Amino acid sequence: MQLTLLISLTHRRWNVPLLAQFHEHPQVKFVTLAKALGCSRSALSASLQALADLGLIRRNQGHGHPMRPEYLLEPDAVDLATTCADVHQTLNAWRHRELGYRKWTLPLVLATGHDERRFADLRHLLSPITARALALSLKDLERERWLCRRVHNRYPPEPRYALGQPGKTIYRLVNRMVAAGLGRAQPKLA
């Protein structure tokens, strides 16, 4: 269940950086977010809608002053926004922001966990990931040493994946993210 919700959160590239921005400013205008993130208006709109659908933010209703914030962080999402800010800060410090915000990176790190996992196990855990998307994500994470690939000497050879040191650090942060509120985020029903 938590993995499914993490997949929902990371489905859009800007969701985690957006929550990190909400950590700094729980009430914010659209233009401020666009300027801070440097993303397109359509991508930002889609990410804001996705976060609203998860019940993490809401649009400020009513008319008012032109400087009135347009989006508000839900009180239940404060801990999640704090943890997203930690993830954002860590990825920036490592200069791995591009890798960290890809659709499957954080769910793949969480799915790998403390165990060695086979390709088929990861694909099953991360359903609906395609085999190609999983293979590309594994190669990218292996190249940056977030994951280690070990081939067990059996017939047929059996490759398994385990977290490397950077992956273990991100795993702890993603676990905190899940514990901080992602488990409480539920899509709103229309």
Within a 10 A sphere around the Cβ of 136, how many other Cβ atoms?
A: 13
Sheet with 57-59, edge to edge strand ranges: 27-28, 71-73, 57-59
Bigger pLDDT: 183 or 180?
Answer: 180
The pLDDT-based confidence of 49 (bands split at 50, 70, 90) is: very high
Question: Residue 189: its pLDDT value, please?
Answer: 36
Domains (range + CATH), the chain: 2-182 (1.10.10.10)
pLDDT, tens digit, 9 for 90 and up, residues 24-39: 999 999 999 999 999 9
pTM (predicted TM-score):
0.88
Structure tokens that stand for 68 in this block: 């009135």
pLDDT digit string, tens, across residues 94-139: 989 899 999 999 999 999 998 999 999 999 999 999 999 999 999 9
Write down the pLDDT at residue 184.
55
| Predicted pLDDT of residue 186 | 52
User: pLDDT digits over 78-99, tens only?
Assistant: 999 999 999 999 999 998 989 9
Kindly tell me if the per-residue pLDDT of 185 is higher than 60. no
pLDDT band at 180 (very low <50, low <70, confident <90, very high): confident
Retrieve residue 25's tokens.
């400013």
DSSP-based three-state secondary structure for 28: strand
Average pLDDT over residues 51-64: 86
Residue by residue, DSSP assigns 109-171 as HHHHTTS-EEHHHHHHHTTT--HHHHHHHHHHHHHTTSEEEEEESSSS-EEEEEE-HHHHHHH
